[in-house]
Each structure stands twice: as structure tokens, then as C-alpha cells.
Chain A
């Protein structure tokens, strides 16, 4: 009885964003991508910029992102999203342009593109999902894989002697004068999701100031690739990824 009193339209405090298309996402249960897509849709809805936003979707698990959020999209070749975003933003300087890329996309094949786009200070927002693995292709080692972490191509654990150290892209990007905002966030807890949403709002708002690139890294999980349950993966991420990829603002000139 009490439940029916509470369950009224006026008491609704949280519901799915209207920008999220009614379609079941293809991601594994508990994947961080779904949470980030949701925050992205909520950010665009809150800012009221649905008609003025153009997203660049990547190659990787999030390749079908254009099927999930109701805005305009372009699909880039692997790693080339910043180059495409540069073109879109220069043709339409009043639109809000963002790229959404994983670590295999941005930190490996697309390192050249992202560094030069940030160095030019392109007025775009970059969303970088770092789950330390190539999730889509079967859990191979990525440039961001932790030392000692087992993947299908480093079955004895990654060793820096053979394959180098985990690359800290956000710290590298933050050194470039073209970047106005560089931050690292996560989406494992409700408070982390709230902080990440604030970072999204700030990054999209910063495009209005036309000062330079805003860059958001999200430390994420890949429970299928890591061979864990989603909840275990979140705990593993806090214990092992946060010491190497500490969460927080790295540069803020807005």
C-alpha cells in the first residue's frame, strides 16, 4: 500500500535519460561502457545540446555507440577519431564535438592523432576509456596493461623488459599547452559516477570558451577480459589500477 503511494510520477527521482535509445546494449553484464554512455546522455540532456552535439565513435567495444545515444554521429577508423573530430569542429565551430575512445584505440594505434590534436588545442572533448586490455578482440595486452598483469598475449604477466611500462596518456596530454582540462575519473561507485558527470559537464561547457582541448580519462573494468565477476573487477580495479592511474584532476585551466 505504502509502495503505491510512493510510486507516483511526482516522486520519481531517477529515470533513464530520454537520449538513451530503447535498445539493449551489446556489452557484457557490468561493463563500464554502459555507465559512461548513460552519463554522456545525461550530460547532453542536462545541457540541452542534443541538436548541437556531434560524437565520433571509435573502433573497439564501443563501436556501436551511435546506436545508443540519440545525437549526430560519425564513425572513425581505428585511432583516428581526434582527426575526424578536428575536421568536424573546424567545419562547425558552434557544435559540441567529442570523441569516445578506448585504450587500444587512443593509447596505441591513435597515439599520434591524439597528441597532435591536443597539441593544436582543438576545441573538442575527448573521452578516454582505460580498462588496461583489448576487450573486444579477446583480452590481449594493451599499452596501458599493468606490469605483472596476465592477458592472453602476456600469460606470464606483462614485463617492462619485453613490452615496456603502462603508458600514462593523461599525464602526457596534460603537459601540452593546448589542453585546458585533463582529469582522470572512474565509474565504479555512485559517488565516482557523480564526480565523472561533473567532469563531463565541465568539459562540454569548456567548448563554449574556445580555449582548447578537454580530456577525460575513465579508469574502467573489463570483467570478461580480466576473467572476474563485475563486482570483483571493480574491487580489483580499486586495488591495482588506482595506484598506477590515480583518480583526480591533473590540469584545470578553465
Chain B
């Protein structure tokens, strides 16, 4: 049993500031190469399998675009 997490980013609301990436302890998140409707390189889970659901990214997100799920699987 390991604790696993999943993050969900509201792509259209993300401004691509990168603060979540700086605060992610497992290097799960990265900025996408494509842009959203407002021209920002949005954050997305590049290595989803390494996410532990610690919620750090969501807590520091200034625009609160990240929702976090966590479970033992």
C-alpha cells in the first residue's frame, strides 16, 4: 500500500507562474510547451506516477487552479 495522489489543473485559469513547480517535492509538475486560451504555458502533471498528493502545489497556487486527490492504493 502506497499513498498516491492525483492533481487536476484548471488549464484555462492557470497563469503559468511556476510557483507550484518550485514547491513540488517530487518533481511531478512541469510547464507545458503549448499554451492555453490566454497565452500562458500552463502547469500540468508531467510525472503523474510520482505524485504523493501532498497538496503543496495547490496551497501555494495564487489562482487556486489545482485540486488534489489522495488515496492508498
Contact = CB atoms under 8 A, between A and B. Distances in A.
Q: Do A and B interact?
A: yes
B48 A231 contact: no
Given A2-B4, A5-B73, A230-B18, A14 B66 contact: yes
Contacts, number: 96
A14 B18 contact: no
Interface stretch (A23-31, A43-51, A101-109, A112-120): A23-31
Nearest to B4: A6
Contacts of A34: 61-64
Contacts of B23: 189-190
A49 B46 CA distance: 39
B18 A17 contact: no
B64 A20 contact: yes
Contacts of B59: 14, 190, 193-194
Given A3-B48, A20-B64, A234 B71 contact: no
23 contacts: A2-B4, A5-B71, A6-B4, A6-B53, A8-B71, A12-B68, A12-B69, A13-B5, A13-B69, A13-B70, A15-B67, A29-B62, A30-B15, A30-B62, A35-B60, A38-B61, A38-B62, A190-B56, A194-B59, A230-B17, A231-B17, A231-B21, A234-B22
Given A2-B73, A13-B68, 16 more contacts: A2-B4, A8-B69, A12-B67, A13-B69, A29-B16, A29-B62, A30-B62, A34-B61, A34-B62, A34-B64, A35-B62, A189-B23, A194-B59, A230-B18, A231-B22, A234-B22
Interface of B: 4-6, 8, 13, 15-19, 21-23, 40, 48, 53-56, 58-64, 66-71, 73
